[in-house]
Amino acid sequence: MPEADAGQSMNVPWALQMRGVSADEPSRLVQTLTGAILGCGGWVLSRGANDVGTINMLFEFERRSCVDIYSILIGSGVELSPGGHVRLTELCQCTRSHPHDCDTEIASVDLEIQTYSREHAGISTILGLS
């Protein structure tokens, strides 16, 4: 591996694919998440919602902001899949364990959220809580 490529391979970002559900209206949720991600210093690379209420967002952030990003996802009413919680927890713990080594590394999240209207289905039923 050439010298120049060796330095680049050390900055490979964490690439997370996650899914979640929300009872929020899609356009409102996209707006809320976009503002919150930008407020944490992140970058929204793409975002959108389709006719059946599925939101797709691709965003990046410096790893030092991982706890803030995790908090805004939960605070906005997104219920992440168990795998999503595990991956974000791993990212936060790893970043906290090695802050000087990775604070400025970039993490990337490809997030799919299925939204459900509260009138059409109870969120507890959707999440399997009832």
pLDDT tens for each residue of 77-92 = 999 999 999 999 999 9
Residue 60 belongs to what domain range? 14-126
Is 9 part of any domain?
no
Please check whether residue 38 lies inside any domain of the structure: yes
Please report whether residue 7 resides in a domain. no
Q: Is residue 5 part of a domain?
A: no
The answer to whether position 90 is within a domain reads yes
Assigned domain for 51 exists: yes
pLDDT of 127 strictly over 70: no
Do 63 and 95 meet the contact criterion of CB atoms below 8 Å apart?
A: yes
Say how many C-beta atoms besides its own lie within 10 A of residue 71's C-beta: 13
11-32 pLDDT tens trace: 446 899 999 999 999 999 999 9
Q: What is the pLDDT of residue 25?
A: 93
- 89 lies in some domain: yes
Number of domain units in the chain:
1
pTM, two decimals, is 0.79
